[in-house]
Structure 1
Amino acid sequence: MVNNNLTSQLTETLSVDNGTDETPIKWCSVSLSEVLEKGNRLEASVYDVESKQAYARIKDGIYPPVYLLGINSPVKKAHYGGRLKRNYVEKNSKNAIGFIGSSEMLDINPQPLKFMVDDERVSNLHVKRGTVLMSRSGTIGNMSFVNETLEKFLISEHAMRLECDDYPGYVYAFLKSKTGQALIQANIYGSVIQQIEPEHLTGIPIPNAPNEIKSEIDNLVSRSYSLRDESNVLIEKATQLMIKELCLPAIENFDLKLFKRNVPVDTFNVKLSGLTYRLDASYHVPIVDAITQHLKENCRELTTVADTRISKRIVLPGRFKRIYVEENVGRVFIGGKQLWELDPCNKKYLSLSKHGDRIKEQLELHENMTLITCSGTIGKVSLVGKHWENWAANQHIIRIVPADNSVAGYLNTFLASEYGYHLITRHTYGAVIDEIDDLHVSKIPIPILKNQDIQRLINVLTLQANEKRYEAYKLEQMALKIMDNEVIYAKRPELV
C-alpha cells in the first residue's frame, strides 16, 4: 500500500537523475586589496574571469603598462558632450548640421536623420579629427576614430571622447582588441542602462610599447580611416553624376500632385486603376509617382531590378532557428543593423554543421552583391566588399546578385540614393513590424542612362570606393594583429 502512495511516487520521480548538466558557473576569488583598488565596487562583473586574465596579461607583459588616463598616460583628456534639450530642425534649414549617435558613428559613411542648428549651444558636441570615440551608454565599448567624415557631424553625449597628444591610433587599436574590450567591460556600472565614465579609464592599464611600434599601429589606423574618407568622396561623386545625368531635383522640390495644399496632412487622389490591390496610403504617396515619372522623362529606359541586364537573382532567406558556435568553428553572421559598418561589431558565428546547406544556398554573401534591409528598418542599402566574402547575413536582408560587375556599382548607387530609398520603402507593409519581400524588390524601377559612358563611370567609381574600403579593412586588421602579436601577447626574449 505504501508503494502506491502518491507522495512516495512523487518523491521517487523527483529523485530521478535525467542526466541534465548544470549551466557552468564562472567563479574566482577576490582579495580585499582588489576590492579597494576597484573603488569598493562589489559587482561580480568587475572581477570577471576574462577581465582578470586580461588585467594580469597586461601587468605581466613584456612592456610595462601605464594607466589609460592619468599622469604619463596616453589619453590626455576623456570627456563627453553635455546633456541638452535637442531642438531638431529640417535638413535644409540655415546652419543645420547632422547629429548622430554612438551607433551611427560606427558607420563608414553616416547618414544623419536628425539635424540641429550649429551654434554655441551645441559646441561641445563637435569632435576633433584624431579623437578616439568609445560608446559609453547602452552598448559599451564600440570604437570609432574621428576622420574627415565624422568631423562634419555633431556626436551625442553617449560617445566618450578620448583625446591623445600622440599615437591616438595605438589607443584605438588597444581598446578595440579583445583584451582591451575585456578591460572596458569590467568597468561598466548600472542595472538598467549600463554606462561607463571617464574616471573608470584611470584603472585600465595599457602597454607602454616602444614609440616605433606605437607609430606603426597609429599610421595603419590613420590610413585606414583616410581610405574610408576617400571611398566616401568617390561615392558622393558617383551619386552626383547620376543626379546630374537624370536632372533630379532635391526631394523637397518635386512637384507633388496634392489634392489639398497647406493642410496638416498630405491629401491626394488615387485612381481605381492605380490601386494594384494595395489599400495602404503609404504605397501611393505622391513622391513615388513624381520620381518615377521624372525618371521616365530623363532616362533612355526605365526597367526594374528583375531585368536580367540588372540582376541574376534576388534572394530572401527563410526564417530558421539559429545555432551559434565559437568564433573559430563557425561562419561570421551579421544583421541589418551592422550593414553600414566596415568591420561589424558584435558579430556572431553560425554552426556550419547545422546550417551548412542553408548558408551556401541562401545566407552567404559575395563581393558586389547589393544588400537591402527588408524587416524592421526598411531600405538600408550596402555593397558587399571583398572582406565580407563568404560571410553570412540574416533573413532580414535581401540580396541582389548583379548581372555582372559592369552594372553592380551603378545598381547600388541608385538604390542607395534618397530617390532609391523612396522607391524601396513605398512597398512597405505590416501593422507592427514593417516588411518588404523579394517580389517587391524585383519591381523597383531602375533607370538606364542615356549616356552610357556616364553610367559606366558611376559604376567604376562605386567599385573603386568598395575596393578602398577593403583596403581600409586590411589595414585595421593589420594594426590589430600587430597589437596582439607584438604588444599584448609578445613574449620576453628569454622565454622564446
Structure 2
Amino acid sequence: MKIASKDNPVRLAWLREQGLRMDAAPYLSGAFEARKLLERLPVTEPLREVTRGGNGIFHSGRLQRRWVTSPEHGIRFFSSTDIMEADFSSLPMVSKTLVAQYPRLLIRAGWTLITRSGNVGRIAYARPDIDGYACSEDVMRVVADPKRIPSGYLNTFLRSRFGVPIVTSQAYGAIIRHIEPPHIADLPVPRFESEVEQEIHELMEAAAELRSEFQASLVGATEDLFKTAGLEELIDLRWHESKRDLGFAQRGLTHTTLRALNFQPRAQRILQRLRDETECVTLGEICKGGQLSRGLRFTRVDGGAEPTYSYQLVGQRQAFWLRPEGRWISKGKTPSEVLAEDGTVLVAARGTLGENEVYCRAIYVGGEWTSKAYSEDFLRIRSADSSFPGAYLFALLRSEAMFRVLRSMSTGGKQQDIHEALRAQIPVPVLTAPDRERIAETIRAAYRKRDEADKREDKALELLEQAVLEHSAG
C-alpha cells in the first residue's frame, strides 16, 4: 500500500489543480509530488533546452531488422530489455548495411537510454565500450549538450526518484504503454552550482568506465582459459555457421537419455575437443561435497524494502541485469538455502530454447550479491575443491561454447531443465594451479569493479537528491 510522504504531504492546492479529484492515484504516483518539489527550486530548465541542439531527444524510428551471425557483417544490437544487462557479450547482431542506411540506430557513449514501449521508464547510461552499438526503436535517446549540462549529471537526475516518476507518468496506451520525445521535452531539470553537477557527472563517468573494465575482464578471462588450454577455436564459436544437426545416428545408448537433442553433433564436437586436447576433470567430481543441483523451492513472504529485515529475491531474468529489481521477502520466513555463498555459479536452469532467452546462461555470485536471495530456478554450482574455485568455473561456463553444451543437455517439455546426469559429466580443463588462479582472480577483480561502479552510481544519486531537497527547502 502506498502512503503520502510526511515530508511532502498532499496539499489542498494540489486537489484544486486536479479539479478536487479525491481518488489517490494522481497524488501517489510520485510524478505530481516530484513536479511540485521541483517547482520550489530556484532554477530549472526544460529537458529540450539542455539537449544537443535543442533536439537531442529522439528514437531511431521503426524499421525492418536484418539479423546476422557473423561479426564481420554485424553490429551488436540492444533491445529495450538488453540496455539493463550487465554482460553484453551475447547480444544479437544486425546487418552493418542496415545500420549504414539508418545511422539513427547507433548509440554513443554518454547518452541516456530510456525504454519507451512496454515497461516504460527504465533508464541506462551508455558506457564507453558500447559506443557505436545499435539500439531498438523502443529505446529513446537523450543526448546532453556538453556546453549546457554534464551528461552524467543529466542521467542521474532522469533516473532519480524525481525524474523517473515524471517520465513514466507521460506514458499513454492501454495494453502496451508508450512515450514519445515530445512528452518529456518539458520535463524540468534542476540546475545547481557547476561544482555539484560536475562531481555527480564524474561519479557516473567513473562508474561507466568500471563497467567497461568489468565487461573486458569477463571476456578476457574466458579467452585466457581457452587459449591456455589450446582451444582457441572455441573462443569464436560461429555456432550458426556450423553444419546443422540433421540425420545423424547415435550408437551405444543407455538408460540415461533417449532424447536426440542430448546427442547433438555440434555440441558433442565441443565436448570431444575438450576431452581430446586437454586434461579434464568432470564438473560432478569438482562439486562432490559442494553443490550441483537446482535451488530450494520455498514459500515467499513479502517484507519491506529494508535490508535489515528482508532479502531481495532475484529471479532468472533480472539476475543478468546491472541492478535487479526483484521483490523483497522476509528474512525470518526465508530458509538460508536460498542464499548463495561467495564464489557460487548460478545457471538459469528453467526456460525455453529461444536464442535470446537466458536459459543456460551463467552468473557469478560475489561481493554485494551474496546478500541477495535467488529463486529455485537456478542450477547452483559450488565447488568443493579449493583448487577449482567458482570464479574459474564461471570463466568456462559463461562461454558461448558451454552455453551450447548446456542447451544440448536439456530435458523436459515446454519448460526445459538441464539433465541431472549429463551436467555432472561436463569436462572442466585442469590446466595448472597458477593458470586457474590467474583466471579466477580476473573474474573476482571484475566483480569488485562492478560493486564499486554500483557504489559510485548510488553516491551520485545521493548527492543529487541531497541538492534537490536542500534547495527546495530554502
Q: Which of the five TM-score ranges fits, normalised by the shorter chain?
A: 0.7 to 0.9
Shift in alpha-carbon separation, 1:466–1:24, aligned structure 2, 3 A:
closer
Aligned to 2:449: 468
How far is 1:202 from its partner?
2.6
**Cα distance between partner residues in 1 of 2:254 and 2:246:** 18
**Cα distance between partner residues in 2 of 1:254 and 1:50:** 47
**Cα distance between partner residues in 2 of 1:405 and 1:479:** 39
Structure 1, unpaired ranges of 5+: 1-22, 36-42
Is residue 64–residue 207 contact of structure 1 (8 Å, CA) maintained in 2? Answer: yes
**Cα distance between partner residues in 2 of 1:385 and 1:481:** 24
Aligned to 1:13: none
Is residue 105–residue 150 contact of structure 1 (8 Å, CA) maintained in 2? Answer: no
Aligned to 1:331: 311
* 2:411 maps to 1:436: no
SS at match of 2:410: coil
Aligned to 1:9: none
Is residue 88–residue 116 contact of structure 1 (8 Å, CA) maintained in 2? Answer: yes
Q: Which amino acid aligns with 2:167?
A: I
Aligned to 2:265: 286
Is residue 127–residue 155 contact of structure 1 (8 Å, CA) maintained in 2? Answer: yes
Deviations 1:21-80 (A, max 9, x none): xx9999998768669xxxxxxx9966654222222222224x433222247999751001
Aligned to 2:121: 141
Aligned to 2:229: 246
Q: Which amino acid aligns with 1:290?
A: R
**Cα distance between partner residues in 2 of 1:50 and 1:254:** 47
Shift in alpha-carbon separation, 1:216–1:422, aligned structure 2, 3 A:
same
Aligned to 2:169: 186
Q: Which amino acid aligns with 2:281?
A: T
Deviations 1:201-226 (A, max 9, x none): 13422221211111111111111010
Q: Which amino acid aligns with 1:208?
A: R
Q: Which amino acid aligns with 1:478?
A: K
* 2:318 maps to 1:371: no
Is residue 110–residue 128 contact of structure 2 (8 Å, CA) maintained in 1? Answer: no
How far is 1:191 from its partner?
0.3
Shift in alpha-carbon separation, 1:304–1:51, aligned structure 2, 3 A:
same
* 2:88 maps to 1:107: no
**Cα distance between partner residues in 1 of 2:91 and 2:304:** 36
How far is 1:448 from its partner?
1.0
Pairwise CA RMSD of aligned residues?
Answer: 3.1
Is residue 246–residue 298 contact of structure 1 (8 Å, CA) maintained in 2? Answer: yes
Shift in alpha-carbon separation, 1:254–1:452, aligned structure 2, 3 A:
farther
Is residue 350–residue 378 contact of structure 2 (8 Å, CA) maintained in 1? Answer: yes
Q: Which amino acid aligns with 2:68?
A: V
Instruction: Kindly tell me the number of residue pairs found equivalent between the two proteins.
Output: 448
Out of 358, 372, 375, the residue aligned to residue 394 of structure 1 is 375
Q: Which amino acid aligns with 2:261?
A: S
Is residue 46–residue 186 contact of structure 1 (8 Å, CA) maintained in 2? Answer: no
**Cα distance between partner residues in 2 of 1:304 and 1:251:** 22
How do 1:47-446 and structure 2 match up within 5 A?
A: 48-61=28-41, 63-70=42-49, 77-92=56-71, 94-119=72-97, 120-165=100-145, 166-248=149-231, 249=233, 250-252=236-238, 266-271=246-251, 273-300=252-279, 302-308=280-286, 312-328=290-306, 329-344=309-324, 346-355=325-334, 358=335, 360=336, 362-376=337-351, 377-403=358-384, 404=386, 407-436=389-418, 441-446=423-428
**Cα distance between partner residues in 2 of 1:194 and 1:177:** 21
Aligned to 2:354: none
SS at match of 2:164: helix
* 2:457 maps to 1:482: no
Deviations 1:413-448 (A, max 9, x none): 000001211222222122211222665543332121
Q: Which amino acid aligns with 1:177?
A: S
Is residue 374–residue 397 contact of structure 1 (8 Å, CA) maintained in 2? Answer: yes
SS at match of 2:102: helix
**Cα distance between partner residues in 2 of 1:147 and 1:240:** 22
Shift in alpha-carbon separation, 1:184–1:46, aligned structure 2, 3 A:
farther
Is residue 381–residue 416 contact of structure 1 (8 Å, CA) maintained in 2? Answer: yes
Aligned to 1:19: none
How far is 1:163 from its partner?
0.2
**Cα distance between partner residues in 1 of 2:439 and 2:54:** 42
Q: Which amino acid aligns with 1:98?
A: R
SS at match of 1:274: coil
Shift in alpha-carbon separation, 1:266–1:28, aligned structure 2, 3 A:
farther
Q: Which amino acid aligns with 2:345?
A: T
Is residue 213–residue 446 contact of structure 2 (8 Å, CA) maintained in 1? Answer: yes
How far is 1:130 from its partner?
0.8
**Cα distance between partner residues in 1 of 2:428 and 2:104:** 43
Is residue 407–residue 459 contact of structure 1 (8 Å, CA) maintained in 2? Answer: yes
Is residue 286–residue 388 contact of structure 2 (8 Å, CA) maintained in 1? Answer: no
Shift in alpha-carbon separation, 1:414–1:72, aligned structure 2, 3 A:
closer
Shift in alpha-carbon separation, 1:281–1:305, aligned structure 2, 3 A:
same
How far is 1:347 from its partner?
2.6
Is residue 74–residue 164 contact of structure 1 (8 Å, CA) maintained in 2? Answer: no
SS at match of 2:389: helix
Shift in alpha-carbon separation, 1:216–1:229, aligned structure 2, 3 A:
same
Aligned to 2:355: none
How far is 1:282 from its partner?
1.0
Shift in alpha-carbon separation, 1:443–1:102, aligned structure 2, 3 A:
same
Please give the TM-score of this superposition, normalised by the length of structure 1. Answer: 0.82
Is residue 282–residue 425 contact of structure 2 (8 Å, CA) maintained in 1? Answer: yes
Q: Which amino acid aligns with 2:443?
A: T
- Which region of structure 1 is more displaced relative to structure 2, 176-185 or 65-74? 65-74
**Cα distance between partner residues in 1 of 2:144 and 2:372:** 35
**Cα distance between partner residues in 2 of 1:405 and 1:141:** 45
**Cα distance between partner residues in 2 of 1:87 and 1:265:** 24
Please give the TM-score of this superposition, normalised by the length of structure 2. Answer: 0.85
Aligned to 1:14: none
**Cα distance between partner residues in 2 of 1:103 and 1:151:** 18
Is residue 28–residue 49 contact of structure 1 (8 Å, CA) maintained in 2? Answer: no
**Cα distance between partner residues in 2 of 1:175 and 1:289:** 49
* 2:431 maps to 1:457: no
- Which region of structure 1 is more displaced relative to structure 2, 412-421 or 368-377? 368-377
**Cα distance between partner residues in 2 of 1:222 and 1:71:** 18
